[in-house]
Amino acid sequence: MKLLRQFVRLLAMAQLLPALESGEETLVGGQAVLEGVMMRSPHAWGIAVRKSNGEVVSHSEPLERPSETHKWMGWPVIRGVITLGQAMALGFRALRYSANVALDEVPVNAEGKTIQLSGWMVAVNAILSVAFFIFMYKFLPLVAATELKRVWPAFGNQVVFNLVDGAIRIGLFLLFIWATSLWGDIRRVYQYHGAEHKTVFAFEAHDPMEVGAIQKYSTFHPRCGTSFLMTVMLISILIYTLIPVTTFWGRFGIRVALLPVIAGVSYEIIRFAARHRGSLFAIMTAPGLWLQRITTQPPADDQVECAMVALNQAMELEAQRGGQLVLA
């Protein structure tokens, strides 16, 4: 039962992964995990997870920057796809680590054998998450918009059709975010998400890594994955409108095929908005900041401590590798 619950939690977390993590090659960012926080710097990542007995378990590893090995991976738009892909892969590793720390507390037999989430279970989780994303946010909105077009022919207009399709997509996303926030386990994850944001803000302001100094900051951060997802959904409406495809399966194929392009463009907008807070692009990312009222919650001091440990782990390894940071 414990293993099943952890798998379901992991599946829900995997769906929220893009909203909980922030990926940027030259900036400090992070991600909330189960009862902890993962932090990443350009050349390292660290994670800290609190067990039920209060003990904090931490881990860190080096992190390679693809753009340092292959210059073309640092080109605009392409760098967004590469960085986000790496961030998602790292996010699944961090989720698996946090789940295994929690499961390590539950012996299976008298010999003290413990449960572990195997690699295949995580792989199945990842496949299910991608399939759910495509079904929920690409297929269902398109089906709904197509049916509405049959009832109201005016919806057949290319612009109107894609506006309706986009509105349904955003509505489903908001419903999913709100529904998961009612689950106590996920609400705690949202608190750790807030702890991650506060800690990054304090680091960027060169404040000391102390709970009191960190807690004064906001939980709303412009580089959050929640802002990224909202930007993706808004940008996708514009891009789909510009492509003159009218058949159902043609539209569905375009929506799946253009996912990397839309993600790359959205990454550049978020990146620009984080550096130019008064720009038009910053206004575009505002809905994502509003949505963080759900996906981030005020953290307790012990949750902030986890974020501090994770960041310290990453920064210690970063210093050993001679990395240099560019702060927003």
Decide if 97 contacts 59 (C-beta within 8 A).
yes
pLDDT value for 107 = 44
Domain for residue 326, yes or no?
no
Domain for residue 264, yes or no?
yes
Residues in the chain with pLDDT values less than 50: 25, 106-115, 325-328
Domain for residue 325, yes or no?
no
Domain for residue 21, yes or no?
yes
Domain for residue 262, yes or no?
yes
**Structure token pair of residue 82:** 């590469």
**Structure token pair of residue 32:** 């909330």
Measuring CA to CA, which residue among 18, 5, 2 is closest to residue 224?
18
Q: Which domain holds residue 27?
A: 2-320
**Structure token pair of residue 198:** 């506060």
Domain for residue 186, yes or no?
yes
pLDDT value for 84 = 79
Residue 119 CB neighbour total at 10 angstroms: 9
Distance separating alpha carbons of residues 319 and 328, to the nearest angstrom: 19
What is the domain count for the chain? Answer: 1
Domain for residue 177, yes or no?
yes
Domain for residue 198, yes or no?
yes
Q: Which pTM value belongs to this model?
A: 0.81
pLDDT value for 13 = 59
